[in-house]
Amino acid sequence: MEMRDTMYVNVEKTADGRSDSEEHQYEDVYENSQVNPHHQQNTPGASPQKTGKRRYRLVAVVLGLLCVLLLTAIILLWIQFSAEQDHLQSRLLNMTNEWDELKMYQPQTEAEAEVFRGVIAYLAEAKQQGWKLFHTSLYHISTEEKTWSESREDCLGKGADLVIINSEEEQEFLVKTLDKERAWIGLIRSDSEVAWEWVDGSELTTNYWSRGEPNNHKDSEHCAEFRGIPIKNNWNDRQCTITGGWVCEKTILN
């Protein structure tokens, strides 16, 4: 019986008929079979998946920077283009203002073409001498100071006369051109009992006197000038013997 008992103990089975060793072997196999088939053992270097993510991030950052630089360049180019466009539009407007009334003199025959070429050459020479073109008149702003009579003599010597202002447009052009400079204009009266008239003998119909002018201070102010203030109504009566700047005018149609 002892020998039988020993054998019985050594070969004792589990409840389902397997020995303990078989049971352990079965459990090991079962546990190993539950391991995730996609699980990869860690390696010393980064995995291909992580490396790929880093590359994608780097590419995204580079592309982002390029987009920012491109956008900045576009904005700068647009600002420069807009400034140049405004400048060109301003130049075209000035050219239109100066040359509009000359369009009617476009040559139709060879004789007219010859005259037109002469006008162009004349304007080019006048520009070099400091004359400014506005519509069909040329204007010269003095750089000296003279009395009203001396100023007119200077204009007559240039084939012109002291400026005669016929329109609001012309007045605004001269105000802008003179800015803050005082200048004689071609408006005069011989005494306080005589109406103002232009140097060509025409009566004064439209005026741009400053407030309170003409006041004929001390009954001695019989010549007119630009007062030296950059506003539309800036005429002033002044003693004709006082020295000041002046504006000459001549037409290109004669």
pLDDT the model gives residue 8? 44
What was the pLDDT predicted at 121?
A: 85
In this prediction, residue 171 carries a pLDDT of 97
Evaluate the omega torsion of the peptide bond into residue 48 and state whether it is cis, within 30 degrees of 0. no
Query: Cβ(249)–Cβ(164) under 8 Å?
Result: yes
Q: What is the pLDDT of residues 108-145, one digit of tens each?
A: 677 777 777 787 888 889 989 999 999 889 999 999 99
Give residue-wise pLDDT tens across range 208-242: 999 999 999 999 999 999 999 999 999 999 999 99
User: What is the model's pLDDT at position 94?
Assistant: 52
pLDDT at 39 (0 to 100): 47
pLDDT in the model for residue 164: 98
Take residue 33 and report the two structure tokens written for it. Answer: 């079979």
The residue length of the chain stands at: 254
Half-sphere exposure of 144 (CA within 13 A, CB side): 9
Q: Where are the domains of the chain?
A: 2-30, 56-100, 112-251
Q: Are 115 and 102 in contact (CB under 8 A)?
A: no
Count the neighbouring beta carbons within 10 Å of the beta carbon of residue 109: 8
Per-residue HEC secondary structure of the chain comes to: CHHHHHHHHHCCCCCCCCCHHHHHHHHHHHHHHCCCCCCCCCCCCCCHHHHHHHHHHHHHHHHHHHHHHHHHHHHHHHHHHHHHHHHHHHHHHHHHHHHHHHHHHCCCCHHHHHHHHHHHHHHHHHHHCCCEEECCEEEEECCCCECHHHHHHHHHHCCCEECCCCCHHHHHHHHHHHCCCCEEEEEECCCCCCCCEECCCCECCCCCECCCCCCCHHHCCCEEEECCCCCCCCEEEECCCCCEEEEEEEECCC
pTM: 0.58
In the block, tokens 């980064």 appear at 46
Structure confidence at residue 86 (pLDDT): 56
Positions in the chain whose pLDDT score sits under 50: 1-43, 88, 91-93, 95-96
Find all residues with CB under 8 Å of 4, minimum gap 6, and list them: none
pLDDT of residue 209: 97
Q: What's the token pair of residue 47?
A: 């995995």
For the domain bounded by 112-251, which CATH number is listed? 3.10.100.10
